[in-house]
């Protein structure tokens, strides 16, 4: 399996290189050159199998023998043993035809753990095989950072630098990033918003001299390895509800478009998905783009679902590339427009393809709070604000044709203030994390400037080439 860049001018790479590369050298994102396909019999055979086993089966065609199957299986076993639920990602029914897919049973209580626990181990394996070290950078609006720090802390071959927007993450999210005592962990509070953090990370990748000097690698969903591991729960949840005989639908709380793109990939790989719905909060750039055909950034507003407070949604580029019939030059032109004027227009044929693949809706903060209350009243189930955003949109779009699976991306205890405000119930952290808020914090506050961050990373990484 080779991987190609959405912008067409970076070299095609194999799996291990894609895993370690992060952003393509032309600024694009890597995608497999063709989609592997699972037959109905192969999908049926996943029913009732342990999560780690299904994960190994789904990832095998992407890894394509570059890492031995036995090693991948062992890594998956170890990665999912860190989860606090035997099913890893269990389904809970919230009403007739509506199911919540709980993706928050990992060590940091967000869906990021599902991929990050795999990614850290796969990267470690590749680095050990090559006898190399790497500098990992990541931008976070709150959850990726904690999950990445937990997965990479103490690993000898990597130093990890996580950029988060100063004062714009929840107190629990912040502590998950700032209380690690591991010497290879660096939490950087950037004086800006998530889009600024992500822009700095991309600028570091596009600064080739720096990139080579520190052997830069990324753990955001720009890294194909993240998307690959997120495809798995679409399969496990769909087969639990009757796939491949019965089609299912998904609604996904969306920010950087990585999670829903994994759903799109699952569909391309043969999973019968009737509807794939993007749920946005008040920062509804994706819903507007699908409605109007124009992707146009506005200011970000702070919401009760801060992890989705995003304007530049990285993986939308992968969806555009696909919708444009894999026309890398059209994709690159659109991305140039975004860089220069903060906007681009989607060509009519590509827009039609996007609309065929994705539905979209938005839930305002008030609607999200109302949904948290309603679901609690209906069935005693407490949602976090991100998952509630998706339940709201799922109910707006519901056509009753197929079971609707709503991705629950975070544990409510990560956002106790918003949950309490909406429901009067203050969720508590699971016992393993109960003392988190008492731990001492360690982080650096930096201006929103690439040079300042590069300088800090350059002085603190041990992976100088």
Please tell me whether residue 170 binds ligand LJ64HWYM under the rule CB under 6 A.
Answer: no
Residues in contact with ligand LJ64HWYM, total (CB under 6 A)?
A: 13
State which of residues 21, 56, 135, 144 lies at the interface with ligand LJ64HWYM (CB under 6 A): 144
Minimum CB separation of residue 314 from ligand PLP in Å reads 8
C-beta of 254: minimal distance to ligand PLP in Å?
4
Q: Is 135 in the site for ligand LJ64HWYM (CB under 6 A)?
A: no
Say whether residue 385 binds ligand LJ64HWYM (CB under 6 A). no
Question: Is residue 212 packed enough to be buried (19+ CB in 10 Å), middle (13-18) or exposed (0-12)?
Answer: exposed
Name the minimum Å distance from CB 362 to ligand LJ64HWYM. Answer: 17
Instruction: Using the minimum distance from each CB to ligand LJ64HWYM, give the nearer residue, 255 or 361.
Output: 255
Asked if 107 touches ligand LJ64HWYM (CB under 6 A), the answer is no
386 binds, among ligand PLP, ligand LJ64HWYM, none (CB under 5 to 8 A by kind): ligand PLP
Give the CA angle between residues 263, 268, 270 to the nearest 5°.
Answer: 100
Q: Does 225 bind ligand LJ64HWYM (CB under 6 A)?
A: no
The reply on whether position 142 binds ligand LJ64HWYM by CB under 6 A is yes
Q: Is the peptide bond before 315 cis (omega within 30 degrees of 0)?
A: no
The one of ligand LJ64HWYM, ligand PLP, none whose footprint includes residue 363, by CB under 5 to 8 A per kind, is none
The closest alpha carbon to 326, from 10, 19, 33, 24, belongs to: 33
Site for ligand LJ64HWYM in 234-293 (CB under 6 A): 255-256, 258
Interaction between residue 195 and ligand LJ64HWYM (CB under 6 A)? no
Judge contact between 108 and 175, C-beta under 8 A: no
| CB distance 187 to 145 below 8 Å | yes
5 binds, among ligand PLP, ligand LJ64HWYM, none (CB under 5 to 8 A by kind): none
Residues that bind ligand PLP (CB under 6 A): 110, 142-143, 221, 253-259, 307-308, 386, 409-410
Q: Is 52 among the residues that bind ligand LJ64HWYM (CB under 6 A)?
A: no
Q: Which does 254 bind (CB under 5 to 8 A by kind): ligand PLP, ligand LJ64HWYM, none?
A: ligand PLP
Query: Catalytic residue at 112?
Result: yes
- Rule CB under 6 A: say whether 303 interacts with ligand LJ64HWYM: no
Per CB under 6 A, which of residues 314..333 are in contact with ligand LJ64HWYM? 314
Q: How far is the CB of 352 from ligand LJ64HWYM (least distance, A)?
A: 27
| Least distance in angstroms from the C-beta of 256 to ligand LJ64HWYM | 4
Decide whether 127 or 388 has the Cβ nearer to ligand PLP.
Answer: 388
**Identity of the residue, 102 or 259, whose beta carbon is nearer to ligand PLP in the bound complex:** 259
Tell me which residues are annotated as active site.
112
Contact footprint for ligand LJ64HWYM (CB under 6 A)? 140-145, 220-221, 255-256, 258, 307, 314
């Amino acid at each position: 399996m080779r991987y190609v860049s959405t912008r067409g001018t970076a070299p095609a790479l194999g799996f291990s290189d894609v895993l370690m590369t992060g952003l393509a050298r032309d600024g694009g994102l890597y995608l497999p050159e063709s989609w592997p396909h699972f037959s109905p019999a192969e999908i049926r055979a996943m029913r009732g199998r342990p999560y780690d086993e299904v994960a190994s089966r789904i990832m095998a065609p992407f890894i394509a023998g570059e890492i031995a199957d036995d090693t991948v299986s062992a890594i998956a076993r170890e990665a999912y043993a860190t989860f606090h639920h035997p099913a890893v990602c269990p389904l809970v029914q919230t009403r007739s035809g509506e199911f919540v897919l709980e993706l928050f049973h990992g060590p940091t209580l967000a869906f990021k753990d599902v991929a990050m626990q795999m990614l850290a181990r796969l990267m470690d394996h590749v680095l050990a095989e090559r006898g190399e070290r790497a500098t990992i950078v990541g931008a976070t609006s709150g959850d990726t950072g904690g999950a990445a720090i937990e997965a990479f802390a103490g690993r000898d071959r990597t130093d990890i630098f996580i950029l988060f927007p100063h004062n714009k993450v929840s107190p629990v999210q912040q502590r998950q990033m700032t209380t690690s005592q591991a010497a290879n962990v660096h939490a950087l509070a950037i004086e800006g918003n998530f889009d600024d953090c992500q822009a700095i990370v991309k600028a570091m990748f596009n600064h080739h001299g720096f990139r080579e000097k520190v052997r830069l690698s990324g753990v955001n969903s720009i890294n194909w390895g993240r998307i690959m591991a997120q495809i798995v729960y679409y399969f496990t949840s769909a087969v639990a509800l009757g796939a491949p005989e019965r089609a299912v639908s998904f609604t996904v709380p969306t920010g950087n478009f990585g999670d829903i793109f994994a759903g799109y990939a699952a569909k391309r790989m043969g999973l019968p998905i009737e509807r794939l719905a993007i749920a946005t909060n008040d920062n509804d750039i994706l819903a507007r783009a699908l409605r109007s055909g124009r992707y146009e950034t506005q200011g970000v507003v702070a919401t009760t679902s801060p992890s989705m407070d995003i304007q530049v949604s990285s993986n939308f580029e992968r969806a555009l590339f696909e919708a444009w019939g894999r026309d890398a030059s059209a994709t690159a032109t659109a991305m140039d427009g975004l860089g220069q004027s903060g906007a681009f227009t989607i060509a009519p044929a590509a827009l039609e393809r996007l609309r065929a693949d994705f539905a979209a809706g938005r839930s305002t903060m008030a609607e999200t709070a109302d949904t948290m209350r309603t679901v609690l009243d209906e069935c005693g189930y407490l949602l976090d604000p991100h998952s509630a955003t998706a339940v709201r949109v799922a109910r707006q779009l519901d056509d009753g044709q197929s079971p609707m699976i709503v991705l629950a991306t975070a544990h409510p205890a990560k956002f106790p203030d918003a949950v309490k405000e909406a429901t009067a119930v203050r969720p508590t952290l699971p016992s393993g994390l109960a003392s988190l808020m008492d731990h001492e914090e360690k982080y650096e506050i930096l201006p929103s400037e690439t040079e300042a961050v590069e300088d800090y990373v350059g002085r603190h990484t041990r992976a100088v080439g």
